[in-house]
Chain A
Amino acid sequence: MKVRDFTICSNTRLNDRNHLIKVTPVDNSPLPEMFPGQFVQILVPNSPHVFLRRPISINFVDEKQHEIWLLVQRVGEGTDKIATLSAGDTLNMIFPLGNSFTLPTTKGSFLLIGGGVGTAPLLFLGKRMREKGFEPEFLLGGRSEKDILQRDDFEPLGTLYYTTEDGSLGEKGFVTQHPILQQKKYDFIYTCGPKPMMVAVARLAQECGIGCEASLENLMACGFGACLCCIEKTVKGNVCACTEGPVFNIKELTWLN
């Protein structure tokens, strides 16, 4: 874990709520090794009464450009401030935090299911899987077409399936209603998105006997295991989602009990 200042290289508005912010270390220092599923804690600038840092998952690491990509959804004053920063501005971050998705060790078929801004860490995961010779497939869901983020970035990584609640892209409905889940037998599912979606995915995975990891976004204060606020109830008792997670195998969770 490190605390470091980053320069914003670009800030691109993806839709009415989401921004893609690319950052590079101010001092050009080397980036530590980062793993898909890990996150950063961003200090909210110019907003003295927004007190806590904002946890944002690592969307992508571009080694060539020496950049970390962050997908920021505007959900309140803190994320509003971050989303309105411009290229050249400075961001202070604690990183990298948390555990990561478990990459497969044997060939198989893998489905990465994301909802809304929860698709963010799946881009990085998909990239790493491709690099290791796996062929990930993606099932991305949202309210409507404009809510499915970064389609051009996902495109080269594997087959894409879509669901939207209004039917404007892909199948109409929720991710768990997509017919591919009936047609194809997957060996492992990785998921990140709103909790009701992840619970539905976990239930489906359990019923079909498919292994599954989910990335949680519990409210947290510190992000490094000191405050004990972001706890998740697991089969081992309450654990910090920031240090023991944010990625959990669904067998460890008590969602379906």
Chain B
Amino acid sequence: MAELNVQIGDLRLKNPVMTASGTFGYGTEYTDFMDLGRLGGIFVKGTTLEPRQGNDYPRMAETPSGMLNSVGLQNKGVDYFVEHLYPKIKDYDTHMIVNVSGSSVEDYVACAEKLADLEKMPAIELNISCPNVKEGGMAFGTSCQSAAEVTRRVRKVFPKTLIVKLSPNVTDITEIASAVEDAGADSVSLVNTFLGMAIDVESRKPKLSTITGGLSGPCIKPIALRMVWQVYHAVKIPIIGMGGICNWQDAIEFILAGATAIQVGTYNFIDPMASVKIVEGVEAYLDRHHIASVEDLVGKMNYL
């Protein structure tokens, strides 16, 4: 049996398959469907310092092989998370990781400080790439200077594993990845959603209340894969790859391109058991190819 363990910062994951923030609630939404302990980790819904109601309806539009969303970080705030949600999820037999977002550097820092005190919260994912909020979010992830600044400031107050989630809505994602690596990030996760839009031709109205939103699903996979491959050659820290992953073949592609671990996102909505099926598929692939450990496969694409 192949070894599925992988290392991300100080975290030892039982396998490289995790679920992406915003697609998996707090894990509790999926307990009818699977044993959460089968997963390498769960990234819970984007959490902010203050509660947020999110954007108006409609927040979703289906597109070919994908969907647009403009949820806008609806959540009850970090204090509610610490008091009411963390106690319910802390004993799941997997790593629970909070995705942290904010509209100012001070927000990110305050939020991270509160989470640093939680014993069973081994890591956070800094979301500097949400395209659906008016202030902050993606604004931090589209310039090297602001990405590095927020990473550096959070690094000072958060001693555990710090993952920074990158936006694909940039000219050169490798520059941002290098900037957050230099600022102290333990890992980068990529990619968040692509900014997109859709219009109803009969009413001539946008399909989202916010006009633009984030595109996800299989339609973005080739671009996400390319970005992971580029970042793999630009940084030394481990990469968590995501973008349209639906099955074990997709997961193996990301690993070959340079991802140490992967996140399953939008496809959780279509097949709630997809992530567990991917764990099984990756393991079978490694056995079939006589590869001792999944870590031996990271970045090992054969060139033509």
Contact = CB atoms under 8 A, between A and B. Distances in A.
Contact of B23 (A53, A227, A230, A237): A227
Interface residues of A, number: 29
Interface string B54-72: 1011111111111101010
Interface in B242-266: 266
Given A51-B65, A226-B23, A238-B74, A219 B270 contact: no
A59 to B, nearest CB: 23
Contacts of B53: 237-238
Interface string A152-173: 0000000000000000000000
A224 B27 CA distance: 12
A40 to B, nearest CB: 14
- Interface SS of B by simple majority: loop
Given A221-B67, A230-B60, A238-B74, A52 B270 contact: yes
Contacts of B272: 3, 94, 222, 224
B303 interface: no
Nearest to A54: B62
A213 interface: no
Interface size class of B (residues with CB under 8 A): 35 or more
A226 B269 contact: yes
B131 to A, nearest CB: 15
A227 B60 contact: yes
Nearest to B69: A229
Given A1-B33, A224-B29, A43 B59 contact: no
A218 B56 CA distance: 12
Nearest to A220: B60
A233 interface: yes
B218 A51 contact: yes
A4 to B, nearest CB: 11
B281 interface: no
Nearest to B25: A226
B32 interface: yes
B273 interface: yes
Contact of B58 (A2, A94, A219, A222): A219
14 contacts: A51-B66, A51-B67, A51-B266, A51-B270, A52-B270, A219-B60, A220-B60, A222-B269, A223-B269, A225-B25, A226-B268, A227-B22, A230-B60, A231-B57
Closest 8 CB pairs of A and B: A229-B60, A222-B269, A49-B64, A1-B32, A226-B25, A49-B65, A226-B29, A221-B269
